[in-house]
Amino acid sequence: MTKTREMVDWTYEKLCLKTVKALEKNEFSALYCPSAAEARQYIIDEAADADTVALGGSMSLAEMKIADELKKRGKTILVSKGPGITPEQGMAIRRRQLTCDLFLSGTNAVTLSGCLVNIDNTGNRVGPMAFGPRKSIVVIGRNKIVDGSIETAIKRVKDRAAPPNAKRLKYETPCATTGFCSDCAAPDRICRIITILEKKPKRSDLRILVVNQDLGF
């Protein structure tokens, strides 16, 4: 590892640890992970007693290749989109995701004051984050940490997360072409629900892993 890399990681470590502390202050169960490998192992361990595992569309989790690993371990993986899944089957899976044993998701942003900020289209990602599954784990790459207000976090999502997501999903939105948000009125608009988790939802078992590595966008 170069000295530059080492110092960058050290600076981010401090930022991640500050975020963990803020999340804990907001009653979340938060854990610092030096790398995605540690976060991956934590998830595998926590999935041991789960039969059904649902994944909210998350590039962070995709990069960690967690679904394949859990499938190998005999878990039923609930994903609502993919080859051979009809729209009707997708809806049925989204409903099952709400009552799964373990729900895994990324987040679009987290503030240094310990609030999770997400923008969703259908709601099957942000819904189970608040209530439903027996246990939920949210993975946060260091690139999602926002040193600013909730408004700054929402801007981060619309600037950095929504455009590449719209492009990835082949949605016909202006941002999928220009790379910039124009607060569109497109039928495919993905920004339909904004959620802010200020404190841990009362009856949920929600764990948060703050990873000292860039994950997703």
**Binder to ligand SF4 among 17, 59, 184, 193 (CB under 6 A)?**
184
How far is residue 184's CA from residue 203's CA, in Å, rounded to a whole number? Answer: 36
Query: Which is closer to ligand SF4, CB of 102 or CB of 190?
Result: 190
Please give the structure tokens belonging to residue 172.
């016909």
On whether the CB atoms of residues 68 and 157 are closer than 8 A, the answer is no
Q: Does the footprint of ligand SF4 cover residue 169 (CB under 6 A)?
A: no
- Choices 16-24, 68-76, 106-114, 167-175 (CB under 6 A): range interacting with ligand SF4: 167-175
- Choices 71-79, 82-90, 103-111, 157-165 (CB under 6 A): range interacting with ligand SF4: 157-165
How far is residue 83's CA from residue 104's CA, in Å, rounded to a whole number? Answer: 21
Least gap, CB of 51 to ligand SF4 (angstroms): 35
Side chain identity at residue 158, one-letter code: K
Give residue for tokens 């994944």.
Answer: 55
Q: Does the footprint of ligand SF4 cover residue 158 (CB under 6 A)?
A: yes
Q: Does the footprint of ligand SF4 cover residue 183 (CB under 6 A)?
A: yes
The number of angstroms, rounded, from the C-alpha of 46 to the middle of its chain's C-alpha atoms is 17
Least gap, CB of 81 to ligand SF4 (angstroms): 17
Query: Which is closer to ligand SF4, CB of 158 or CB of 207?
Result: 158
How far is residue 8's CA from residue 15's CA, in Å, rounded to a whole number? Answer: 11
Least gap, CB of 30 to ligand SF4 (angstroms): 28
**Binder to ligand SF4 among 43, 54, 117, 166 (CB under 6 A)?**
166
Q: Does the footprint of ligand SF4 cover residue 189 (CB under 6 A)?
A: yes
On whether the CB atoms of residues 125 and 79 are closer than 8 A, the answer is no
Please give the structure tokens belonging to residue 162.
């929504």
Q: Does the footprint of ligand SF4 cover residue 153 (CB under 6 A)?
A: no
How far is residue 215's CA from residue 110's CA, in Å, rounded to a whole number? Answer: 13
Query: Which is closer to ligand SF4, CB of 74 or CB of 187?
Result: 187
Q: Cα–Cα distances in Å, from 181 out to 54, 106, 111, 126?
A: 29, 21, 21, 21
Tell me which residues touch ligand SF4 (CB under 6 A): 158, 162-163, 166, 173-175, 181-184, 186, 189-191
